[in-house]
Amino acid sequence: MKDLAGALALRRARHLYRQRRIIDGPQGPHLRCNGDSLLSFCSNDYLGLANHPRLIQALQQGAEHYGVGSGSSHLISGHSRAHHELELALADFCGQARALLFSTGYMANFGVITTLVDRHDIVCQDKLNHASLIDAAQLSGAQLQRYTHGNMEMLQHALAKNTQQNSLIASDGVFSMDGDIAPLPKLLALAEQHDSWLLLDEAHALGVIGKQGRGSLEYFSLPTPSDRLITVGTLGKAFGTSGAFVAGSDDLVETLIQQARSYIYTTALSSAIAHATLTSLELINTEDWRREHLQMLIQRFRHGAQQLSLPLMPSETPIQPLLLGDSELALQYSERLIQQGILISAIRPPTVPQGKARLRITLSATHQEEDVDKLLDALSKLKINSV
């Protein structure tokens, strides 16, 4: 038997031990935790919809109408009218022909990649892609080529070497730990040139970037995509609910329904959640002020952080990490912020590369300017040196 206690002790000694915090109450800028109220900058609830009264009401209505559990998988009897309507609305939102709901983003990425490629094929991925994309490629058995972050020459080289096989490029749209935006025009051009699929994981982009929150395509003012572009969106971030979807061509969606194991062999997402997500979509579509307010907060934070010479990263999204390098240091700063009533998680390897530990700050449309000022004030007391 493996020595679990020994491995855990080693992990602790390396400052890589992870612990959960029990939160009493809803998501929002102020979290209740162990009787304290913490000003939180670590949720992915970018638009502040997770606890929106209209979403709560829609979830209740959804439960009245559909009950709580979906009872079975989509292909048996779990596919409801709410799922169907949400799929239509999400396809429209992404400018794609069809959309297909999955229970989580992890499973959506898994479903697409393992359905489209196998051991005869190649998958090219940015080194900073989300774990679910990397894991899916590994499980697919395809040859995995990882290019250094944003390195389009390296990607081109990998694609050019590959002349025979079916290929798929996968990239985060907004990188989850760095907050920067993938070079989508170049990715699309390379996919076109090398007749490759392009899977774009828009978990941190939908609802957030582009004037109407339609993500990377809108951000770059790109036209409705060709069939080779596949969008994955997650509902647990800006949408404020949970679940995920894949959007793409009719043939792609039909193929996933027939073959994607993470679609077929699992219970459908709760219909009440699907019903509530229609309200999220309506708020995303109609309340531009959430994105505008968020942009203002981002500018305010970056401006203040620059004045304090904090180690900002090149991000224009609500993900604003401070790069510290050392895991122990990141953990210490996170603990000292807690003492000041501020919750920011220390992100350490293997979530980020070795030597790239950081405080991952995320802003939400429900933060106020004063919250950002409090954050800057607390950070100034830490006397963080630039690395």
Binding site for ligand PLP (CB under 6 A): 104-106, 109, 130, 132, 172, 176, 201, 203-204, 234, 236, 244
CA–CA separation, 141 and 232 (whole Å):
21
Give the nearest distance from C-beta 106 to ligand PLP in angstroms: 4
241: helix, strand or coil: coil
Residue 237 a catalytic site member: yes
Which residue, 121 or 201, is less far from ligand PLP as judged by CB? 201
CA–CA separation, 39 and 372 (whole Å):
10
Instruction: Check 52, 79, 83, 204 and give the catalytic one.
Output: 204
Give the nearest distance from C-beta 5 to ligand PLP in angstroms: 30
Residue 204 a catalytic site member: yes
Which residue, 238 or 357, is less far from ligand PLP as judged by CB? 238
CA–CA separation, 67 and 63 (whole Å):
4
What phi, psi does 73 have (nearest 5°)? -75, 170
Which residues in the chain belong to E strands, given as ranges?
30-33, 36-40, 98-102, 122-126, 143-147, 167-172, 197-201, 229-234, 244-248, 319-325, 342-343, 345-347, 357-362
Kindly state the DSSP code that residue 267 receives in the 8-state scheme: P
Which residue, 204 or 291, is less far from ligand PLP as judged by CB? 204
Instruction: Check 140, 176, 327, 334 and give the catalytic one.
Output: 176
Instruction: Check 52, 74, 83, 237 and give the catalytic one.
Output: 237
Give the nearest distance from C-beta 160 to ligand PLP in angstroms: 27
Give the nearest distance from C-beta 44 to ligand PLP in angstroms: 7
Which residue, 45 or 371, is less far from ligand PLP as judged by CB? 45
Tokens representing 83 are 């799922």
Nearest residue to ligand PLP, scored by beta-carbon proximity: 105
What phi, psi does 257 have (nearest 5°)? -60, -40
Which residue, 171 or 196, is less far from ligand PLP as judged by CB? 171
CA–CA separation, 77 and 57 (whole Å):
26
Give the nearest distance from C-beta 351 to ligand PLP in angstroms: 11
Residue 211 a catalytic site member: no
**Which are the catalytic amino acids?**
176, 204, 237
